[in-house]
């Protein structure tokens, strides 16, 4: 994914759709892009204020995105 497309996701909501990973299935809001372990990632914040980094690459099959506020409980 290009840096431009990654920046366009800032402010959107994302959740993991895989069986493994931190807080899989929970919505988080993308705050910014950050480098982590030699790759670009999104810094996200969950409803309770906890943060995580999500790799930007190969996201199409693993993540669901939503541009409007979502119900955090789903």
Q: By three-state DSSP, how is residue 34 classified?
A: strand
Residue 56 sits in a domain whose CATH number is 2.30.30
Residue among 64, 56, 62 nearest 14 (CA):
64
Distance, CA of 71 to CA of 59 (rounded, Å): 22
Residue 71 lies in a domain: no
Entry pTM: 0.81
Residue 43 lies in a domain: yes
Number of domains the chain contains? 1
Instruction: Give yes or no for a contact between 72 and 47, defined as CB atoms under 8 angstroms apart.
Output: yes
**Cβ burial 28-58 (10 Å sphere, 16+ → b, else e):** bbbeebeeeeeebbbbbebeeeeebbbebee
pLDDT tens-digit series, residues 27-66: 999 999 999 888 888 999 999 999 999 888 755 678 888 8
């Amino acid at each position: 994914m290009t840096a431009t497309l990654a920046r366009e996701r800032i402010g959107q909501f994302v959740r993991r759709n895989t069986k493994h990973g931190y807080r899989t299935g929970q919505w988080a809001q993308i705050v910014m892009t950050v480098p982590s372990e030699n790759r670009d990632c999104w810094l996200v914040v969950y409803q309770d204020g906890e943060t995580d980094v999500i790799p930007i690459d190969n996201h199409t099959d693993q993540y669901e995105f939503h541009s409007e506020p979502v119900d955090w409980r789903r």
